[in-house]
Amino acid sequence: QAVVTQEPSVTVSPGGTVTLTCGSSTGAVTSGHYPYWFQQKPGQAPRTLIYDTNNKHSWTPARFSGSLLGGKAALTLSGAQPEDEADYYCFLFYGDDGVFGGGTKLAVL
């Protein structure tokens, strides 16, 4: 089974920009992995920020964007806000099997 890797923890300053990445043990992440990005705050269910690499939901703040960068899926946060402090999970499809990354704990300090 593939392993999906994320940075365990990242810190960004308020108003700053940060990019979280999502790599695959099988090689480059492509649009064929249909990358998803989920945000989860303590005590809450996850919510989807990005689907299919770079598509946003109506509730996704404009400061979040998804892309493919250097063989990985990437989630960029431009203009971090205190409320963005949360766990972020990426998810990749390998055919009909899915694999989550271990999550990135984002601190806004």
- Kindly tell me which residue out of 36, 66, 80, 86 binds another protein, with binding defined by CB under 8 A: 36
Q: How many residues does the chain have?
A: 109
55-56 vs 47-51, strand pairing mode: antiparallel
The mark string for 59-78 relative to another protein (x by CB under 8 A, - otherwise) is --------------------
**Residue span binding another protein (CB under 8 A) among the ranges 17-25, 66-74, 78-86, 99-107:** 99-107
In a 13 Å sphere around the CA of 3, the CA atoms on its Cβ side amount to 3
By beta-carbon proximity to another protein, the closer residue of 19 and 48 is 48
Q: How far apart are CA 33 and CA 36, in angstroms?
A: 9
By beta-carbon proximity to another protein, the closer residue of 50 and 80 is 50
- Kindly tell me which residue out of 13, 57, 107, 109 binds another protein, with binding defined by CB under 8 A: 57
If 0-12 CB within 10 Å is exposed, 13-18 middle and 19+ buried, where does residue 3 land? exposed
